[in-house]
Amino acid sequence: MKKLVVFALFALVATVNVQAQQYKVITSVESIVPNGLGRSRIINALEEKDYREFTSVQTEEDNTRNKSKRDEIRVKNFEETKLLNFYNIGGIRFQNIAANDALITSMINDMVSQGWQLEHVISAVESEGGKGDGQGIFITRYIFKK
């Protein structure tokens, strides 16, 4: 009887497909440039890159730089979803923020329906640097796990 139970457990474990976890990063960039002059987008890379191809080891004896060209690193196949800017001539646009929230929610729901789980959300701001700068973005990275 014990042998049968052990065999059944072994057979059950053998049929379970143990797969490595997979991660995907999708980034939203929302402009905080005054007067609505910036560009806001959700960016989703459609190709994978191996970071090891673009990594070099720096030592005291050999302080050479990685010779990889930037064109090799660039991802040329990606989805770009338009978002609205936070500002227009009248100032901050709360309708634009609500519209962006609706699009980002749609993107998250679509990823979840494809079997991805939202694991982490990381955001940062590079805001205007003072008089005359007029630059700034609000960037959010959505890290999904499958």
Average model confidence (pLDDT) for the chain?
A: 82
Where in the sequence is the domain holding 109, given as residue range(s)?
A: 23-145
Residue 1 in domain: no
**Domain count within the chain:** 1
Is the model more confident about 92 or about 15?
92
pLDDT for 90 = 80
Mean pLDDT of 66-86: 82
CA–CA distance from 82 to each of 50, 51, 60, 86 (Å)?
28, 28, 46, 13
Residue 65 in domain: yes
Is the model more confident about 8 or about 141?
141
Residue 12 in domain: no
Give residue 79's pLDDT band: very low, low, confident or very high (50, 70, 90).
very high
Q: Is the pLDDT of residue 11 over 70?
A: no
Residue 7 in domain: no
Q: What is the pLDDT of residues 45-75, one digit of tens each?
A: 999 999 998 888 877 665 545 455 677 888 8
> Could you give the CA distance from residue 66 to residue 52 in angstroms, rounded to a whole number?
11
Residue 33 in domain: yes
Residue 47 in domain: yes
pLDDT for 19 = 65
Nearest to 41 by CA among 52, 27, 55, 54: 27
Neighbour count for residue 88 (Cβ, 10 Å): 15
Residue 116 in domain: yes
